[in-house]
């Protein structure tokens, strides 16, 4: 128990004192997770809408693949992205391994199926009759897509949150393609693992608290918005 109390006390000290290293790690985590989520949205929203709104042979298979992708183990993603970016690998010449960009790429692979799958579900739950009504009101293809996404904005928000929540808390991929290099690719999760291994529970607890707080914030915002818009 003493270990926990002591750890907690010193962790609070680090946070209150705005420890430069802890702040740096947090900031990098936010940047990397933010960038990969943004890219995942850019990719997943059009893809998810397209799958939801069109009929083509093999559509069922594609949807199954997307759904499988929503549960991709980060370690597996880390492995394959590592191979891709390895010095002698297909993309080795880009020299991206052990850079924040590599983490963004790996996290994009993790988040894109999540955003795609949730967008697909969100757009698909809008009745076809609504689509017909919007076309009847004179919507062009682009306007129709915009109206559908706006109609599905609550579940879409869930897609954003789920994507962000998924990548900020994953560790396998960040560790494998980022390498946990101090000041360069060290993020909240990899740092926590390392500090724990070193026995520096105070720093590990401080980092965990920040991670918890971020996760809480994300979920709190989502819940708040959903509750505010509860149907009357």
**Spatial distance between the Cα atoms of 33 and 23, rounded to a whole number of angstroms:** 15
CB of 63 to another protein, least distance (A): 24
Examine residue 55 and tell whether it contacts another protein (CB under 8 A): no
Q: Which of 20, 55, 129, 228 is close enough to bind another protein by CB under 8 A? A: 129
Q: Which residues contact 184 (CB under 8 A, 6 or more apart)?
A: 98, 99, 100
142 burial (CB, 10 Å; 0-12 / 13-18 / 19+) is: exposed
- Determine the interface stretch with another protein among 64-72, 128-136, 177-185, 209-217 (rule: CB under 8 A): 128-136
Q: Which of 17, 58, 60, 138 is close enough to bind another protein by CB under 8 A? A: 138
Instruction: State how far the alpha carbon of 203 is from the alpha carbons of 76, 169, 199, in Å.
Output: 28, 17, 9
Q: Nearer Cβ to another protein, position 42 or 154?
A: 154
Examine residue 223 and tell whether it contacts another protein (CB under 8 A): no
- Which residue in this structure is represented by tokens 């918890």? 212
Residue 80, SS3?
helix
Examine residue 232 and tell whether it contacts another protein (CB under 8 A): yes
Examine residue 137 and tell whether it contacts another protein (CB under 8 A): yes
- Determine the interface stretch with another protein among 52-60, 77-85, 113-121, 129-137 (rule: CB under 8 A): 129-137
Instruction: State how far the alpha carbon of 111 is from the alpha carbons of 70, 182, 199, in Å.
Output: 8, 25, 32
CB of 126 to another protein, least distance (A): 10
Examine residue 132 and tell whether it contacts another protein (CB under 8 A): yes
Of 171, 156, 158, 166, nearest in space to 215 by CA: 166
Q: Which of 54, 88, 140, 227 is close enough to bind another protein by CB under 8 A? A: 140
Q: Which of 68, 125, 133, 184 is close enough to bind another protein by CB under 8 A? A: 133
The site for another protein (CB under 8 A) is made up of 127, 129-130, 132-140, 143, 147, 150-151, 231-232
């Amino acid at each position: 128990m003493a270990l926990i109390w002591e750890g907690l006390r010193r962790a609070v000290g680090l946070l209150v004192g705005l420890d430069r290293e802890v702040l740096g790690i947090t900031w990098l985590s936010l940047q990397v997770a933010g960038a990969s989520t943004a890219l995942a949205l850019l990719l997943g929203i059009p893809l998810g809408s397209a799958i939801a709104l069109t009929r083509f042979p093999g559509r069922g298979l594609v949807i199954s693949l997307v759904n499988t992708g929503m549960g991709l183990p980060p370690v597996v993603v880390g492995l394959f992205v590592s191979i891709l970016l390895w010095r002698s690998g297909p993309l080795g010449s880009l020299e991206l391994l052990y850079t924040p960009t590599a983490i963004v790429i790996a996290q994009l692979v993790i988040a894109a199926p999540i955003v795609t799958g949730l967008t697909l579900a969100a757009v698909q739950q809008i009745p076809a009759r609504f689509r017909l009504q919007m076309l009847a009101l004179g919507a062009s293809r682009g306007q129709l897509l915009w109206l559908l996404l706006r109609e599905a904005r609550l579940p879409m928000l869930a897609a954003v949150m789920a994507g962000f929540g998924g990548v900020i808390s994953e560790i396998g991929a960040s560790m494998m393609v980022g390498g946990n290099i101090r000041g360069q690719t060290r993020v909240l999760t990899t740092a926590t693992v390392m500090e724990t291994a070193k026995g520096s529970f105070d720093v590990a607890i401080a980092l965990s608290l920040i991670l918890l707080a971020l996760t809480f914030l994300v979920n709190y915002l989502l819940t708040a918005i959903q509750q505010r818009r509860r149907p009357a």
